[in-house]
Amino acid sequence: MFRALFRGVKARTIPPTSFALGAMSLSLSPDDSSSEFKPLATQPKLSIYPSPTPDIVLLDTPSRLERQISKVRKNILNTVQESRNEVQSVVDKWIGVEHAVESRVKAIISPSEQLTPNVLYIGISTLTGSIIARNRSLLGARLFLPSAFFLFSLHHFLPETTENLKTYLGEVEERYLPHVAQKHAVANAHTRMLVDRIKEETKEGRERFRKGVEWGVYKVQEVTGLKVGEVWKK
């Protein structure tokens, strides 16, 4: 009886492989297998050629002394360049001044007047005035005569150049010394008035002298009967 019962139980016993397959079927369900199961990553294929050797870059880092020397060198070069620019600026300004002076001198000197003999004559006249003033005891005469001879000779031998020079000096005076130019203009106006008055007085004096001489001639002619008037007219 026990044997028959044992045989029935043994026949109904589930083998161990069934348990294993059931566990695998539970763990690998359709929903979980697609989300959790991942294939192993494939490793890259090795190349049959040798890999290239990377380039080695060497960086030249200057030392502290080299940096200081480079800084000093740059400062010296900048200073030399600035000095050169300053010198060139001064030279350019000087050349500009030379051109301005040259053009001004050409504008003052009249092309119709010859400088070579006239300047010599002016120098001789000024030297003559100095010689004459040396024999005078007055200090004013020694200072006035050479300048007077120079101005008169300059106006006589180079009249156009003298006028141009006078005009230029007047422009310079009005530009840089307006107050002095105004006083100078007033003095020139008074001088012109004085000169015109002297000329008028001289002209009137000559006219009076001529009339007096003519009156005397006619009186002599009336008294003596000589025809002195005809001789005077000639």
pLDDT tens profile 150-176: 988 988 889 999 989 888 888 887 888
The confidence band for 33, taking pLDDT boundaries of 50, 70 and 90, is: very low
The confidence band for 225, taking pLDDT boundaries of 50, 70 and 90, is: low
Residue 137 is assigned to a structural domain of this protein: yes
Number of domains in the chain: 3
DSSP class per residue in the chain: -HHHHHHHHHHHPPPHHHHHHHHHHHHT-HHHHHHH--PPPPPPPPPSSPPPPPPPPPP----HHHHHHHHHHHHHHHHHHHHHHHHHHHHHHHHHHHHHHHHHHHHHS-TTS-HHHHHHHHHHHHHHHHHHHHT---HHHHHHHHHHHHHHHHHHH-HHHHHHHHHHHHHHHHHH-HHHHHHHHHHHHHHHHHHHHHHHHHHHHHHHHHHHHHHHHHHHHHHH---HHHHHH-
Residue 180 has pLDDT above 80, yes or no: no
Residue 97 is assigned to a structural domain of this protein: yes
Domain range for residue 228? 178-234
Region 209-215: mean pLDDT is 76
pTM across the whole model:
0.45
Residue 61 is assigned to a structural domain of this protein: no
The confidence band for 52, taking pLDDT boundaries of 50, 70 and 90, is: confident
- The answer on 208 and 188 residing in a single domain is yes
pLDDT at site 71: 92
- The answer on 183 and 143 residing in a single domain is no
**37-51 confidence digits (pLDDT tens):** 455 556 667 777 777
- The answer on 228 and 193 residing in a single domain is yes
- The answer on 118 and 83 residing in a single domain is no
The confidence band for 80, taking pLDDT boundaries of 50, 70 and 90, is: very high
- The answer on 222 and 190 residing in a single domain is yes
pLDDT at site 144: 82
Residue 115 is assigned to a structural domain of this protein: yes
pLDDT at site 89: 93
DSSP summary character for residue 195: H
Residue 102 is assigned to a structural domain of this protein: yes
Of 168, 189, 213, the residue at which a domain comes to its end is: 168
pLDDT at site 30: 46
**CA 102 to CA 79: how far, in whole Å?**
35
**List of residues 6+ apart from 141 with CB closer than 8 A:** 133
Q: What value does the mean pLDDT of the chain take?
A: 76
Residue 20 has pLDDT above 70, yes or no: no
pLDDT at site 34: 44
